[in-house]
Chain A
Amino acid sequence: AQSVTQLGSHVSVSEGALVLLRCNYSSSVPPYLFWYVQYPNQGLQLLLKYTSAATLVKGINGFEAEFKKSETSFHLTKPSAHMSDAAEYFCAVSDRSGGSNYKLTFGKGTLLTVNP
């Protein structure tokens, strides 16, 4: 079964600093990978997705993620944090195999705090 590990349940950065949120997946076959963002008291919104095209994926709000097969990682980055980036971020994986490709498995989430 697929699994996703997000290292760090809480990450705190200063405004203007680099944001790095870590995600590792377990799969022998590279899966489809997603990052979602959840603002307080809202649903989840897709930030970006990896579907086997370019390994560096650009998303909304200046975020990007790089798929590294050798490290089974899909870390999310943003060069300069903004106060509005404060939210919870979820990494998710979708299996490529057979009939299960419509299910997503989510990580436990990383809460990003941005300090002024």
Chain B
Amino acid sequence: NAGVTQTPKFQVLKTGQSMTLQCAQDMNHNSMYWYRQDPGMGLRLIYYSASEGTTDKGEVPNGYNVSRLNKREFSLRLESAAPSQTSVYFCASSVLAGTYNEQFFGPGTRLTVL
């Protein structure tokens, strides 16, 4: 199993450019998540998909959109990148084991917006 994979690993954008971050999992998990990590801020939830066909906003959704393409794939789109979106982005997935939520993380995408 590859687990959770993310592409690309690194990306540099200019302000105003758009891009899509891709995430896929091969663990047959129902739920998927996008986080951003900034120094001293921990991980903050951008969007999540509790199950295929549903998406919801997290703590910091402004400037982002998501698509749950199928059960395996969950993409994050920046329509018009801003320097404030410079961050490391992590995708995660989980299956609710009983009632608790153990999340598995991808390796991350380092995004710089100039």
Contacts and interface: CB of A to CB of B under 8 A. Distances in A.
Interface of A: 9, 32, 34, 36, 41-46, 49, 51, 90, 94, 96, 101-104, 106-109
Contacts of B103: 46, 104
B100 A51 contact: yes
Interface of B: 4, 31, 40-45, 48, 50, 58, 90, 92, 94, 96, 98-108
A5 to B, nearest CB: 11
Nearest to B107: A43
A43 B42 contact: no
B43 to A, nearest CB: 4
Contact of B102 (A41, A49, A90, A107): A49
A11 to B, nearest CB: 15
Given A44-B90, A102-B101, A103-B45, 17 more contacts: A42-B108, A43-B4, A43-B106, A43-B107, A43-B108, A44-B92, A45-B105, A49-B100, A96-B99, A101-B96, A101-B100, A101-B101, A102-B48, A102-B96, A103-B48, A106-B44, A108-B41
A103 B101 contact: yes
Contacts of A44: 43, 90, 92, 105
B108 A51 contact: no
A94 B101 contact: yes
